[in-house]
Amino acid sequence: MLDLAVSSMDEEGYGIATWGARKIKISGAFPGEAVRVRLTHVGKQSLAGRCIELLKPSPLLRTPQPSKLCNDCGNCQLTLLEYTSQLQIKHDMVSRCLSAYNTLNEVTVNKVIPSPNQLAYRTTAKLIVSGTFRSPKIGLYRRHSHEVVDIEGCPLHHPLINNIIAAVKDGITRGRIQVYSPSTGSGLLRYLVIRVSDDGEQAMVIFVTAFRSYNEIHHLSKHLQSAVPKVTVVVQNENSSSGNIILGDKFHFLTKQNALISQIGKVRLSVSPRSFLQVNSGSAQIIYDQVAAWGELTGKEKVVDLYCGIGGIALFLAAGAGEVVGIEVVEQAVQDAEKNARMNGIDNCSFASGDAGELLSEIKEEWEHADLIVLNPPRKGCDRKVLSEAAKLKPGRMIYVSCSPWSLARDLDILATLGYQTREIQPVDMFPQTSHIENVALLIKT
């Protein structure tokens, strides 16, 4: 047992304390607290422990967890904190990441904009199916383990997701559907992916199976649609790989409808099984509005949207721009984006699939310069080549949307050396009850 003082929190939601010359990651502990810790991992490079007793509370306000499930699962790290304290800890995390770079020391970090909903906000779930057909489990791995926690009734999920999980479990038992076993490689049903439209009136369900097996999944689909009529899209996906990638390459639609329609602001988006869309539509609207406000478009500008996905931000900006080009490496996403442009009647927005750096270089040959570039990369951030090519287009401003304050700070520092000063950052809480925070950064050409 160790008695330690917690100084900060990392991106994974662990409290950080120092023991001698070594740092310890502590689950269930928050900055400013003194805690009694039981070590759970001792490695050459890292130490980890679990808070077993609170010796001194922090100024942050603790609160009872919304569900016993939160303690069993462990993947939502801030459920023990009141929401105002969650926002404070996220703001401090962003500021701390920026402070590591001299070029960012004077950047203004605005107060975190809260999520419209703190619970029941997740409209997407990617879940593991385990156990047996007699006693199936559908859930997530307990944190840092390979034990699946049954998460039927998760307070963060949209209620329709929880209804679907319960119906699928019942259908597995009734249909005697064989559950896939990673240890033996036998069985059929591996994962369950659920998406709910922004209005909560429709849902897409993807059954990920080890092989085709039409009959079992067909009957499971019929049972699900009978139990939950709001399920309008059902898909079987084949994934025979032995890794942890959820979706394979083959999709088989079991319904006539093959996509959901969601809406952010005035933009309608067709969401296919492979589409990426933010899990919190209320916070996504806030982010899109912030990008549009900082874009200061007058109807004449040339805009590039990097890592555009299915075109959400690009189409959102198109009404105020002269021309918009969206760039995305995933070809299927570009096809969805083009479909969404047609569906919204937008004709000044085009999309290209390929390497972002190379496509930016091609745009420079045609445009010479851009007026606005929006970057919305995955968690790892942007390659240096992409940032360099973006700067060569000499836009008057850039807007960087990021889900990782660590990679954001690194990339903003690189952009500072390329002539772009970060003016301010607007954190937006996309993921209440977790340590994750979305940020929108405004950069001006110096």
- Residue ranges of E strands in 142-224: 148-150, 189-196, 203-209
Encode 273-307: b = buried (16+ Cβ within 10 Å), e = exposed.
bbbbbbbbbbbbbbbbbbbbebbebeeebbbbbbb
Q: Are strands 231-238 and 203-209 parallel, antiparallel or unpaired?
A: parallel
Q: In angstroms, what CA-CA distances link 267 with 232, 292, 387?
A: 21, 13, 28
Helix axes 159-175, 214-227, angle to 10 degrees: 130
What CA–CA distance (Å, rounded) separates 149 from 168? 16
**DSSP per residue, 134-146:** SSEEEEEEPTTSS
Closest CA to 235 of 192, 275, 202, 278: 192
- Which strands form 124-131's sheet, in the order they lie side by side? 148-150, 136-141, 124-131, 189-196, 203-209, 231-238, 250-253
AA identity, residue 115: S
Q: Please give the structure tokens belonging to residue 268.
A: 């309608």
Quickly tell me which residue has 């942050």 as its tokens.
60
What span, in angstroms and rounded, lies between the C-alpha atoms of 393 and 370?
6
Contact 432, 90 (CB under 8 A): no
Please tell me whether 280 is known to bind a ligand.
no
Distance separating alpha carbons of residues 207 and 237, to the nearest angstrom:
6
- Inter-residue contact 55 to 36 (CB < 8 Å): yes
45 is in an annotated binding site: no
User: In the beta sheet, which residues pair with residue 109?
Assistant: 425
> Do 258 and 236 meet the contact criterion of CB atoms below 8 Å apart?
no
Q: Is 328 part of any known ligand binding site?
A: yes
Is 307 annotated in a binding site? The answer is yes
Per DSSP, 102 falls in state: G
Give the residue numbers annotated as catalytic, written as ranges.
403
Q: Are 140 and 128 in contact (CB under 8 A)?
A: yes
State the number of CA atoms in the 13 A half-sphere of 131 facing the CB: 19
Binding positions are 278, 307, 328, 376
Binding positions for S-adenosyl-L-methionine are 278, 307, 328, 376
